Homo-oligomer: A and B are copies of this chain.
Amino acid sequence: MFEDKNNPKEIENLGEFGLINHLTSQIKLKNPTSVKGVGDDAAVIAPSKNKQIVVTTDMLVEGIHFDLLYTPFKHLGYKAVTVNLSDVYAMNAVPTQITVSIAVSNKISIEALEELYAGMLLACEIYGVDLVGGDTTSSNSGLIISITAVGEAEKKEIVYRNGAKENDLICVSGDLGGAFVGLQLLEREKQIFNENPAIQPDFSGYDYVLERQLKPEPRQDVIDMFKELDVLPTSMIDISDGLSSELIHLCTQSEVGCAIYEHKIPIDPSTVIGAEELKLSPTVCALNGGEDYELLFTISLDNYEKIKDQKRVSIIGHITSNKGQYQLVSNDEVVHPLTAQGWNALQGRN
């Protein structure tokens, strides 16, 4: 994991076109909507009949969003794609294409870029997406990855953030807080490594939270579940910045309030163990940790019977008519106001 970044091969000899060709020559388009991929002024997409297109973009900056000391390039490429696909799924749409722009400093070897692209193409393969274009350029400093994802859905299927109504149930997929605990463990081992490189990192028992941080999976399965159960959420968002912040986005745009229950927030046992070792509140990690890439959505009460036994979904509260009031009922039955900076509000608790 702590890779040797010394002695990289220079990429300058290949040049920009050579580099793009080198990295993209193996790509075969698989999605029927992909007409033309890499190699022209633009990619060409033929949208399916009667479908609308969704477009989302995310930029990952070295030193801000990732640390190459503990992030393998293949994982980084995989994650750079999946965080964008997560946004497409959060519209209840199916991702179809991505474009990838990268700025690369000369400290990064061709082998590292090959690994980065291998990770991106693996994510594309798993989620049925084509890499159809992009841009490769130099950087004076770190690595920057900008990905745009395109998806499609029928007009009536698309779910926005602004449709939550009073009494709707608030649901989340999977479990929360793991990615943040994984990040804190990696940061702790980095400190130890920096002080004494001879000490091997000790991650035993933390596979799950590390994978949550380094290789998040977007919830394609939840979108499929909606179709199988014939459930259309009233609103949806993906959890990239923590439950608290995302829930406030949903409620603000829907002009409603909410109440959620601490004991209903799904947290994996290994997240709890990791958080406690780090002297963090597992609930705070779930509320404010971020990067879980789970889906937060609301459904009307009519759909309760369809959802209630789905193991991948937890019902954590309900929407209220109290616009601007965002409440967390803690395990000791105290009502706390949720804020986008909920971390501070709850930091004293453990």
Contact = CB atoms under 8 A, between A and B. Distances in A.
Interface of A: 17, 35-36, 39-47, 52-59, 61-65, 87-88, 90-91, 93, 97, 99, 101-103, 132-135, 137-142, 144, 146, 148-151, 155, 158, 160-162, 236-238, 253, 340
B59 A151 contact: no
In order of increasing CB-CB distance, the 6 nearest A-B pairs are A42-B56, A141-B141, A146-B146, A41-B90, A42-B54, A59-B101
A42 to B, nearest CB: 4
Nearest to A100: B57
Contacts of A103: 59, 61, 64, 144
B55 A150 contact: yes
Contacts of A132: 55
Given A53-B53, A133-B57, A41 B141 contact: no
Contacts of A162: 40
A80 B97 CA distance: 23
A137 B240 CA distance: 14
Contacts of A142: 140-141
Nearest to A53: B45
Given A42-B151, A43-B54, A155-B46, A59 B160 contact: no
Nearest to A101: B59
Contacts of A90: 41-42
Contacts of A160: 36, 40
Given A133-B55, A133-B56, A140-B141, A91 B61 contact: no
A144 B88 CA distance: 24
Contacts of A41: 56, 87-88, 90-91, 161, 236-238
22 contacts: A40-B161, A40-B162, A40-B253, A41-B238, A42-B90, A42-B151, A43-B54, A43-B56, A44-B52, A44-B54, A45-B55, A55-B97, A57-B135, A58-B101, A58-B135, A59-B101, A61-B140, A61-B144, A65-B137, A101-B146, A103-B144, A135-B146
